[in-house]
Structure 1
Amino acid sequence: MDTQLLNNLKKLEQYLKERNLDLQIIHALIGKYVYIRYLYDRGILSKEWLVENNLNLDTVLSRKATLVGLLHLTEVLENRFNGAVFPLPPNVETIVGDEIVSLIASTFKGDDPISGQLHLDFEAYDFSYIPVETLSSIYEQFLHSQGTGKQVGAVYTPEPVADYLLCELEESKPLRSGMKILDPCCGSGIFLVLAYRKLIELALAQSPNFIKCPISAQGNQLGL
């Protein structure tokens, strides 16, 4: 599933580039859909919340998605979370049409963006279960395909390297429950995710009742 998603996103990127869409806009649109699907599949965009805000996700996630629908949801999310994620340019309505938005939405449903082959009615991807490694791979693809990562100090850290550094840190500053963990150059969040996993492993080893008292990452893990 993860390989199929990455392959289809690469195809989608290439298809849109060949139609002279700016790479920054392509990545903003793809990133925004990753963000929206993650919020929805994790239950953060509940049915009750959608109704309260007069939102119809069919205008964003279905094969009939529209730019108006995407921009409306984007505005509501920016107000809810007090900030923009993968911002689009102010003149996006003169650059991006409904056909591009619907193509991106259909790709996230599992359709092939090149051949147009449709996926079956069930969802091809469940972002509530897609591992952080896959999300990190998407992040890496966006940075390095533009070739500007090193210029702006944004360099993707592969999981094995992040894990190795945490193991080295363990000798001088062992992880303990209740510690505050800071990643001052946070990108994909791989350091924070692995640190959180190590805290969970530590708690599991120390207490069989850990599942009843889970560790909270809120307030203890910070990324800049």
Structure 2
Amino acid sequence: MSDAQSLEEHALQTLHWINLLSGAHFSSHPHAFKPEGRLDSTLTQNLLHARDHLKGPLDLKEECCHDLLARLIFIQFLFHRKDSQGNPALHAGRLRTLAQEGVLKHVHTDLPGLLEDYDDSYRFFEWLNAHFNGDLFPGKGATATVRRQEWLDEKRQVRPEHLSYLARFISGREDLRHGQAFFWPQYAFDSIPLDLISSIYELFIGPAERDKAYYTRGHLVDFMLDAMLPWEGKKSDLRILDPSCGSGIFLVKAFQRLVHRWKQAHNSDPKPSELRDILERQIFGVDINPDAVRVASFSLYLALCDELDPRRYWSHEKLFPALRGKNLIAKDFLLRIRLRSEAKKTRNPLTLSLVMHRGAKAQQATSEATRKIGPSSMDGMLLAKTLGLFFSLRQRAW
């Protein structure tokens, strides 16, 4: 083989890997990778049907539909997620105990039965909020009066028929249109893959915005993070900002690596409060779409839960920090954004992730991001290099 042939083969092989990393290969061969047969695709279609029914015949605002569906997925996760002794985080016995303690007025054995009882459902939601906090529930205002008003505002929108429909939906008793397979009761929610979260993101943003959104595939995120934030590293107190966070896949994977580095640095597993601290002080995201921020917040909460044995979910009140409007901001990154002052206490410069814009807008975002970090820092130089490679890869797919 001549040197020219060898060089040509090497170039073709390199281009093949670039196409795989950028997603161009999947875009060029759509019939070979049909998504409709995937389990997460079937579940997403079920969720789409439920959302449309809540919005249409039952006249519930779309934002409230999304909050309720995310809340149900999280609660189902708690019912399926088992601890090291094989016991789920939530189960009929705990519901019985809640009734005995007066938290609930009636004894319920499962989630569908609980949802059929409107008043007990909201007592249960408030009990969960006391343990988990976060953005999955209302009541995040600065005063007790404001927090109570937020709960009342949601209850004015969500009527008993909405929760009753969801009870039928998750139990498999609700007929779906067009012969669509019903999948919710068969789905194992104990480990929710990032692909499902990304599918939910695409569902939430709606068809009008779907063509404008670019959710970053997991293998490309891993490729980027291997260069920017490898698993083996001494620094665990870096701040991460994704200026176009979408469903939060980059932030989730960065959080996982930060936790891994924390474990290496401290030679122990982090406490719930320490995981919460990593989310609050080190993870930031911006997206122009408010529904993207909603899904990214949900993704990060699941990532935090993945780091804990479920028995520890109940050992620390307020497990989740409120992220929406604080760490996760629904704004255009190209506008000047000031992150909350507490974040400035961290000494390390920001490490930025992917900017999902086209052409000149992408270059403008890159320049803005690099300027905010400062080209003199090692993180800034690594950012500029990595983003340059990323845009090169993405433009091949565009």
> Which category of TM-score, normalised to the shorter sequence, fits these structures?
0.5 to 0.7
The one of 122, 135, 159 equivalent to 2:197 is: 135
Q: Contact between 1:62 and 1:105, CA under 8 Å: does it hold in 2?
A: yes
Distance in 1 (alpha carbons) for counterparts of 2:182 and 2:193: 22
Q: Percent identity?
A: 25
1:47-80 Cα offsets, whole Å, 9 max, x none, are 5543443254557424962322321111101111
1:152-176 Cα offsets, whole Å, 9 max, x none, are xxx976241x642442343354331
Name the structure 1 match of 2:224. 168
1:80-130 Cα offsets, whole Å, 9 max, x none, are 12445143752444443322212112222344454599969x932221033
Structure 1: runs of 5 or more not aligned: 150-154, 201-212
Q: Quick one: which amino acid aligns to residue 53 of structure 1?
A: L
1:8-65 Cα offsets, whole Å, 9 max, x none, are 1111111222222211121121121112111221132255543443254557424962
1:209-220 matches, within 5 Å, as 219=274
Tell me whether 1:12 sits opposite 2:50 in the alignment. Answer: yes
Distance in 1 (alpha carbons) for counterparts of 2:209 and 2:247: 16
Name the structure 2 match of 1:68. 119
Distance 1:112 1:156, change over 3 A: farther
The structure with the greater share of residues assigned to helix is: 2
Q: How many angstroms does 1:134 deviate by?
A: 0.6
Q: How many pairs were matched up?
A: 206
Q: Contact between 2:113 and 2:167, CA under 8 Å: does it hold in 1?
A: yes
Distance in 2 (alpha carbons) for counterparts of 1:163 and 1:17: 35
Q: Contact between 1:60 and 1:69, CA under 8 Å: does it hold in 2?
A: no
Q: Contact between 1:136 and 1:188, CA under 8 Å: does it hold in 2?
A: yes
The one of 61, 64, 78 equivalent to 2:129 is: 78
Distance in 1 (alpha carbons) for counterparts of 2:176 and 2:44: 14
Name the structure 2 match of 1:22. 61
Tell me whether 1:50 sits opposite 2:104 in the alignment. Answer: no
The one of 82, 105, 118 equivalent to 2:167 is: 105
Distance 1:66 1:49, change over 3 A: closer
Name the structure 1 match of 2:249. 190
Bigger Rg over Cα: 2
Distance in 2 (alpha carbons) for counterparts of 1:118 and 1:169: 37
Distance in 2 (alpha carbons) for counterparts of 1:69 and 1:156: 39
The one of 57, 74, 78 equivalent to 1:35 is: 74
Aligned partner of residue 90 in structure 1, secondary structure: helix
Q: TM-score, normalised by structure 2?
A: 0.41
Distance in 1 (alpha carbons) for counterparts of 2:167 and 2:47: 11
Distance 1:86 1:133, change over 3 A: farther
Aligned partner of residue 53 in structure 1, secondary structure: helix
Name the structure 2 match of 1:207. none
